[in-house]
Structure 1
Amino acid sequence: MRETLEEWIGRDTLQLVTENVSAGFWIVSSGISAGLIILSGIAGQILSTFGVNGDHVVQPLKLGPAQVQTLLLWGLAAVVGYWLLSQLLGLLLSILGRVLWGLKEGLGEGEDTCSASGESDPHDLVYLPAELKVLDVPDHFRLQRVDRYLPGNASLGSRSETYLLLHRRPTAKPVIQATYLPFTAQQVVPAADHHHRYGSAAWDVRAVSIEGTVSPAEPYARVLFHLKGQDWLPGRHDLPCVSLHAFHQTRAVHGACRLQAPLGVCVVELEFPPRWFSATRPSAHSRRRAAEPARPPERAELYYSLGTVETSAECSYAGPQERPRPGAEGTKERLHYVGAVELRGTDPPRRQEVRLDDNVLIRVPDMALRPGQLFTATLILQQNFTANLLTLRIKVKKGLQVLAARPAVPEAWTAKLDKFKGSKHHTAVVTCRRLDGRQLAWRAADFPEFLYLDLAVENGTSGLASTRPVTWQVEYPGQDPEAEKDKMVWEIQVSERDVRALVPLVKEQEIVNTAPLTGIPLAVPVKLVAVEMGGAVFEVTEQMGCESANKQVLKVTDTCNSVYVGGKENRGARGARVDFWFRRLHASLLFTVWVPLLPLRIELTDTTLEQVRGWRVPGATPDSGLAEPEEAGEEAEKRARGCRLQYQRAGVRFLAHFVAHPLDGGRHLTYMPSSDWLLDVRSPVSDSILGEQTLVVSDEKVAVSELQAQLVSGLSLALSTEPRHPDVLTATCQALSALHSPKQSILVASEDDIRWVCEDMGLRDPDELRSYMERIRGSS
């Protein structure tokens, strides 16, 4: 209704009518009060005029003269009070009308523009329209505090943005660039504080300890180092040197290696001195102290340090060197902890036990065997074994030989070995017969080890590893020949290389899962390498096995060459495990996966968009032929020359927390980088509704109430980092307004834009505008 009246009679006329109506209500109320007072004074005369005697009126009420006088006085007081109250009410109505009109003009249309989350709309931002970019950082996100926009974005002379920089490449130099044409400012992002403190470049190195225990038989501790972040060109020699330090009591052993392209890996093999194992060897009094509480095992702590590319002297010595352990001050600060290895006096055998049936177990080596190597398989009987005859049938593939069968207790059992050769397989039959019990009272409970089988791996095996299947079958006297007999197939791994461990390599172990928002899967390539005795490393190209421990967090491809998130995951985690295996070797890799916490938070700088009355900018539009109803004459001519209406605009941001869920199923969430920050999700695309926000587009026209201008003669850029989060960077761009040289010019716009500025300012031509600008400079 108000808009219609404003269109018909004009804004000023409508305001005048509103004020006059309020004044009219005040006058009417005053007239009614005055009329009541006058009527009360001439009431007696009116009654006499109609022939009514006042005494006849009060006689039925039985009131005396004094009572009648009192009643008239109170009635007169009530009339006067009503008159005063009506005057005050009229004045309040007039003031309230003016206040409500002012609020209406200041706030505009009172439409409902509340957001879906029920939060109040953000304040209109006034900031320098400079463009901020992050260069040479593939993965970065714009951040915003939970308490909405930063205070720095409240001035036309500055603009602030906060970024989360992830996965910085070791050789890259991230740059923040601010652009407000024709001015540009750049600044290199400073390295993290710990890199300056340790005196090394921003190398992201992962250390993997190969051995968990070390013994005198093999006193070597091996650690593989992998330089993450990017691929490395072959033949590159400027990769850093890594030093490995092993500390035990007051002594230390050191070794070093230089990371090698293209994998960016190297292995340090440290040999521990014999005296490190002296306290761990069993003594003659070990049995006497068997009842005493066991002492914790001796350990050696492993640390590593990084040298800069220039300091190549640290990699000059090839072998490990034993030195006194340095002091804690100034040394441990630059060391990175790898882990601890246990020192054992004896080398524990690497073997496994496999059940053949309810009575018999077989103990075999749990390791890859070398061509030409001899090994022994042991048969173990359960305590309830009572048979006097046992037949063991062994079928082996070519490449293996059964050399001998030896009873563990020759006084109680005999073993006869018969061999049969076939075209593809060889068969060996071992017949075990119990001797007369008068020689030895044998019981399985007293002698669990029953039979020793000596086997040999033939030469001629090539490649990393090949399998040699061995089929074991136990037969007893009295069994039905047609009955199904239990068989067990055991595969022997044969390799020409003495492979000690498998290590999966990835560029990054942190994944920000934006796939639920963008619909674009994210993948991290995986390479599997094997570490040999001596420290040699080579890539495994044969088929391997793999599995993700939690497919709701992270998945792995069938070929095991990458892990990925596809958008169907509903959880994140820190320490999400992916297992890899090749033959008898196993390895695991831990990832941190962050997922968005839905629904998204959608923020608009203005939730109501309207046309701006009387503001046109150069540029033709497809509907330029359409004219507003009030346009005529010069206005229509301007539109025909290529003007278009200026519309209000609203900036939009899609914000979300990225979290990792606990692996134990709890409810405590971990936020990236913390719960104080929201990540700005760029271009979210999905088939599902991720968040909601109300936007009102009104056909009402609004007028410009204030214009602001900022003189820009250059840009300055300042960077700062969060103390608790080194990867969170805030960039602040400031507009410089000082003119340093005489007749320094400032580019405003093109000649066409200058012409439109002159018309809006009422100036005749661009020369008059330039004169106006010169006067401003002179006054400053």
Structure 2
Amino acid sequence: VTESRGILESIQRFSLLPTYLPVTYRIHNADVSFFLKEANQDIMRNSSLQSRVESFLIYKSKSPPVLNASYGPFSVEQVVPQDLMLSSNPFGSTNKFTYNWKLQAYIMSSKIYLSKPRVQVLFYIVGRDWDEYSPAERLPCLRVFAFRETREVRGSCRLHGDLGLCVAQLELLPSWFSPPTVVAGRKKQLGRSEGSPVELYYSIQAGDERGECAKEDARKSNGIRLGLNDIDESGPPLQRIGSVFLYQTHAAPSLTEMRLDNNIVIQYAPKTVRQGDILTFLVSVAKNSTEDQFTLRAKVKKGVNVFSVRASSPYFWDIQESVDSTGKYAPAVVVCQRKSAAENSAEGPASEIMQIDFEIEDLTDLPETQLITWQVEYPGDTTSDLGISKIYVSQKDLVGVLPLAMEAEILNTAVLTGKTVAVPVRVVSVEDDGTVTDLVESVECSSSDEDVIKVSDRCDYVFVNGKEMKGKVNVIVNFTYQHLSAPLEMTVWIPRLPLQIEVSDTELNQIKGWRVPIISNKRPARDSEEEDEEERRGRGCTLQYQHATVRVLTQFVAEPPEPGAQLHYLLGSDWQLDITDLVRDFMQVEEPRIARLQEGQVLVGLELGMTTIQILSPLSDAILAEKTVTVLDEKVTITDLGVQLVTGLSLSLQLSPGSNRAIFATAVAQELLQSPKQEAAISCWIQFSDGSVMPLDIYDSKDFSLSATFLDEKVVSIHHDPKYKWPVIAAETEGQGALVKVEMVISESCQKSKRKSILAVGSGSVKVKFGQSDGNP
């Protein structure tokens, strides 16, 4: 009875302390994952010797992750269910693990004209590994819907190829380009320049047996139906893409401007031209120019010839072509003279004085890029700098280019590890007929902020190398091909500095009575004659110092796209990520004689003094974090030993109520021996007189030993297996509540006498009930 009361009291005392079952958790099969700490929650969730609750994040994974929990000889693992990682899986039809997959939609042009009433939307899967593409992979179909008042137009395409992309095309009705019907009560009419808006939506659906998209029936084969009210409610949900704007007529094309000097400006409409096309360049004189005479030279090479020169302001300027040189590729040499009666009355900053037409020749080996070199000469041999116009020749009718990244965001761990993190990028062009081409050559690119993200010289990947200063949501990397350009938006998360070093006990005391062997190369002092045998036996030993657990935490953050808004957090401001494994190689104790770190996770006191745990930058002499720890000469005693017997482990997973991405794991020690010779392991915590508690597992097993005895030795037996550091208990016969007494004894080499130096005594119980499960005691 007394023993039972002692066990109960010990369990109650330890249940009020921040204790847990010291299982080791490991995550397998995930590319990037982290254990987590939620603010103010650890002690609430962990205050039992029998269980351990740990939260974790699967950040990136190509296959179903597995969580393993182990303690001593016992191990249990569970596949993390996909429903805990995904709120919904739109790619249900594919046979791949789609945890990181997200569908991106790009409207190729938001301005649609009556002369070409076609909408093009490119879809692709971000987060899918391009290298693991299989031709047998079945990707889903996409249906695109355009709504205008009560009418609807549909289009579809099927994702395919290594990039997992497709282009859906919709032909809009001519009647949609008329001004919208005025709704009663609405007075505002859309301005002619605004265009009429049309909303675009899409839905995902599986293809048929051959992977083809389902066809409309004959009644609806033109793809035109009634509006939103006619949508099948039982079908897949519609996702909004965005809006396009309809115009009856083309606006004047925007012109690219090139200044040769303060006087002369060259303008042209950038576009891809075909062989045989005529391209017109406008030449203007700055309104404030005082020059009355100049000569303009335009040099061309094989593939382009000067077609004609036309005066735009013959009343004000005399334009004369020079015949200095002849031949098919002779430069245009134009002498310009202001007429004496001319007064510059034109509006705007410059006055157009002439137009020069260039013809693109129809040659079989015509280079894709043609150059026109411009220069102005003034009387007195003064010349301007050279100006170069690029003409892009192609038989393809390009609508636009798009940079596609394999991931939507980058986690900048390079700041912590010094290892570059890169995301592949492919730039594709889209033609008028929907053809998509992978562009390998002639792509140019630049990062809008290299303190956040960088881009490779060949424009084939974006990366961070650890020298970045900040993270950002939707940072832009610009890509250009010929006259077309497009931005790539990426979110970059960066660890918040300084990092947080969490130490379970920052003041380490000597432990009274716990002597451990001195690890030293020094020869011991010569025995004195007065020294008795007891002192001689313990002379090569010193008092043990307390140990503490260490972990490193941080938050990954990104600045908002608009200045002044709140900082974005990867999981939320209440969550920190455990990055101990990433920075372990860069952790050190500033004064290693005072304390040392074991595998970056356990701090061991060695000698009196104060020092700091530091985390060094792998790329510079910066210190990413510091934590002060003190080793004291005040002695503490072990006041209690908490004992938990473990016959096996159970593991359960659930979604965190505090975050839709964090997952809780709970490992529980089973306490029932259900069959003869089944074994149980011992788990122990020690409590000190300063109030701190610590799992015994963090101390070196060579510095102490555990012995266990049972009141009823018929029920269980105890043996020492060399594979395990502590005694193992085995079931012999049935019995309820078998009591075990555990003694913690200092190592034999430091015993001062033949009588054992017992540091602490604890007790626990185990149930032996053959054929019964832990859930049904």
TM over 0.5: yes
User: Is it true that 1:654 corresponds to 2:552 in the alignment?
Assistant: yes
1:312-348 deviation line (CA, Å, top 9, x unaligned)? 7772449982222233895898333322222111123
Residue in 2 that maps onto 1:590: 489
AA in 2 matched with 1:141: F
User: Is it true that 1:190 corresponds to 2:78 in the alignment?
Assistant: no
Following superposition, the deviation at residue 564 of structure 1 comes to 2.4
2:460 paired residue among 543, 554, 561: 561
Residue in 1 that maps onto 2:204: 306
User: Is it true that 1:743 corresponds to 2:707 in the alignment?
Assistant: no
Residue in 2 that maps onto 1:179: 70
Residue in 2 that maps onto 1:348: 251
Counterparts of 1:471-620 in structure 2 under 5 Å? 471-473=373-375, 480=379, 482-485=381-384, 488-609=387-508
Q: What SS is found at the alignment partner of 2:175?
A: helix
AA in 1 matched with 2:167: V
AA in 1 matched with 2:489: L
AA in 2 matched with 1:707: L
| 2-structure distance, mates of 1:489, 1:668 | 45
User: Is it true that 1:326 corresponds to 2:260 in the alignment?
Assistant: no
Q: What SS is found at the alignment partner of 2:124?
A: strand
| 2-structure distance, mates of 1:771, 1:728 | 38
Counterparts of 1:320-719 in structure 2 under 5 Å? 321-327=223-229, 330=233, 334-354=237-257, 355=259, 361-380=265-284, 392-407=296-311, 425-430=329-334, 450-460=353-363, 466-473=368-375, 480=379, 482-485=381-384, 488-609=387-508, 648-662=546-560, 666=564, 668-682=566-580, 683-684=582-583, 685=586, 686=617, 687-697=621-631, 703-719=637-653
AA in 1 matched with 2:307: L
Residue in 1 that maps onto 2:593: none
Following superposition, the deviation at residue 258 of structure 1 comes to 2.3
Residues 158 and 733, structure 1, Cα contact 8 Å, conserved in 2: yes
Following superposition, the deviation at residue 194 of structure 1 comes to 3.7
| 1-structure distance, mates of 2:520, 2:18 | 31
| 2-structure distance, mates of 1:309, 1:722 | 35
Alpha-carbon distance change, 572 to 707 in structure 1, aligned in 2, over 3 angstroms:
same
| 2-structure distance, mates of 1:535, 1:193 | 32
Following superposition, the deviation at residue 777 of structure 1 comes to 4.1
Counterparts of 1:49-64 in structure 2 under 5 Å? none
Residues 381 and 444, structure 1, Cα contact 8 Å, conserved in 2: no
| 2-structure distance, mates of 1:777, 1:155 | 22
AA in 1 matched with 2:450: K
| 2-structure distance, mates of 1:428, 1:376 | 13
| 2-structure distance, mates of 1:598, 1:433 | 66
| 2-structure distance, mates of 1:386, 1:703 | 96
Alpha-carbon distance change, 388 to 644 in structure 1, aligned in 2, over 3 angstroms:
closer
Residues 280 and 343, structure 1, Cα contact 8 Å, conserved in 2: no
| 2-structure distance, mates of 1:397, 1:411 | 33
Alpha-carbon distance change, 635 to 416 in structure 1, aligned in 2, over 3 angstroms:
same
Alpha-carbon distance change, 249 to 728 in structure 1, aligned in 2, over 3 angstroms:
same
| 1-structure distance, mates of 2:365, 2:106 | 28
Residues 243 and 314, structure 1, Cα contact 8 Å, conserved in 2: no
Alpha-carbon distance change, 647 to 487 in structure 1, aligned in 2, over 3 angstroms:
closer
| 1-structure distance, mates of 2:644, 2:477 | 56
Q: What SS is found at the alignment partner of 2:649?
A: strand
| 2-structure distance, mates of 1:778, 1:677 | 41
Following superposition, the deviation at residue 688 of structure 1 comes to 2.7
| 2-structure distance, mates of 1:768, 1:236 | 58
Residue in 2 that maps onto 1:8: none
Q: What SS is found at the alignment partner of 2:82?
A: coil
| 2-structure distance, mates of 1:543, 1:345 | 35
Residue in 2 that maps onto 1:39: none
AA in 2 matched with 1:736: Q
| 2-structure distance, mates of 1:292, 1:632 | 105
User: Is it true that 1:254 corresponds to 2:154 in the alignment?
Assistant: yes
Q: What SS is found at the alignment partner of 2:44?
A: coil
Alpha-carbon distance change, 773 to 144 in structure 1, aligned in 2, over 3 angstroms:
farther
Higher helix share: 1
Instruction: Give the number of aligned pairs.
Output: 633
Following superposition, the deviation at residue 274 of structure 1 comes to 1.8
| 1-structure distance, mates of 2:86, 2:176 | 37
Following superposition, the deviation at residue 215 of structure 1 comes to 0.8
Following superposition, the deviation at residue 214 of structure 1 comes to 1.0
Residue in 1 that maps onto 2:12: none
- Structure 1 alignment gaps of length 5 or more: 1-122, 282-290
Following superposition, the deviation at residue 369 of structure 1 comes to 1.2
Identity of matched residues, %: 34
Higher strand share: 2
Alpha-carbon distance change, 155 to 310 in structure 1, aligned in 2, over 3 angstroms:
farther
Alpha-carbon distance change, 699 to 390 in structure 1, aligned in 2, over 3 angstroms:
closer
The normalised TM-score by structure 2 is 0.69
Residue in 2 that maps onto 1:164: 57
Following superposition, the deviation at residue 526 of structure 1 comes to 2.3
Q: What SS is found at the alignment partner of 2:251?
A: coil
Q: What SS is found at the alignment partner of 2:179?
A: helix
1:586-607 deviation line (CA, Å, top 9, x unaligned)? 1212222222222222222233
Alpha-carbon distance change, 420 to 166 in structure 1, aligned in 2, over 3 angstroms:
farther
Alpha-carbon distance change, 690 to 484 in structure 1, aligned in 2, over 3 angstroms:
closer
Alpha-carbon distance change, 335 to 624 in structure 1, aligned in 2, over 3 angstroms:
farther
1:380-413 deviation line (CA, Å, top 9, x unaligned)? 5666799998865332111012223344578999
Alpha-carbon distance change, 726 to 494 in structure 1, aligned in 2, over 3 angstroms:
same
User: Is it true that 1:243 corresponds to 2:143 in the alignment?
Assistant: yes
Alpha-carbon distance change, 582 to 600 in structure 1, aligned in 2, over 3 angstroms:
same
| 2-structure distance, mates of 1:320, 1:156 | 69
Q: What SS is found at the alignment partner of 1:151?
A: helix
| 1-structure distance, mates of 2:501, 2:344 | 82
Alpha-carbon distance change, 599 to 205 in structure 1, aligned in 2, over 3 angstroms:
same
Residue in 1 that maps onto 2:664: 730
Following superposition, the deviation at residue 142 of structure 1 comes to 1.6
AA in 1 matched with 2:280: T
| 2-structure distance, mates of 1:182, 1:441 | 97
AA in 1 matched with 2:411: V
Structure 1 range deviating more: 441-450 or 722-731: 441-450
Residues 368 and 495, structure 1, Cα contact 8 Å, conserved in 2: yes
Residues 389 and 434, structure 1, Cα contact 8 Å, conserved in 2: yes
Residue in 2 that maps onto 1:152: 45
Residues 36 and 575, structure 2, Cα contact 8 Å, conserved in 1: yes
Following superposition, the deviation at residue 538 of structure 1 comes to 2.3
Following superposition, the deviation at residue 222 of structure 1 comes to 1.8
1:279 paired residue among 173, 179, 183: 179
Residue in 2 that maps onto 1:98: none
Residue in 1 that maps onto 2:759: none
AA in 1 matched with 2:68: Q
1:136 paired residue among 14, 25, 29: 29
Q: What SS is found at the alignment partner of 1:347?
A: coil
Residues 304 and 370, structure 2, Cα contact 8 Å, conserved in 1: yes
Alpha-carbon distance change, 384 to 653 in structure 1, aligned in 2, over 3 angstroms:
closer
Residue in 2 that maps onto 1:94: none
1:165-187 deviation line (CA, Å, top 9, x unaligned)? 22344xx2233232333331313
Following superposition, the deviation at residue 211 of structure 1 comes to 0.9
Alpha-carbon distance change, 135 to 304 in structure 1, aligned in 2, over 3 angstroms:
farther
Following superposition, the deviation at residue 137 of structure 1 comes to 2.2
| 2-structure distance, mates of 1:690, 1:387 | 62
AA in 2 matched with 1:574: V
| 2-structure distance, mates of 1:255, 1:293 | 29
| 2-structure distance, mates of 1:624, 1:125 | 41
| 2-structure distance, mates of 1:720, 1:292 | 52
| 2-structure distance, mates of 1:679, 1:535 | 44
| 2-structure distance, mates of 1:253, 1:449 | 45
Q: What SS is found at the alignment partner of 2:382?
A: coil
AA in 2 matched with 1:266: C
Residues 656 and 680, structure 1, Cα contact 8 Å, conserved in 2: yes
The normalised TM-score by structure 1 is 0.69
Residues 352 and 363, structure 1, Cα contact 8 Å, conserved in 2: yes
1:460-500 deviation line (CA, Å, top 9, x unaligned)? 3669x73211134456xxx5252325653312112233232
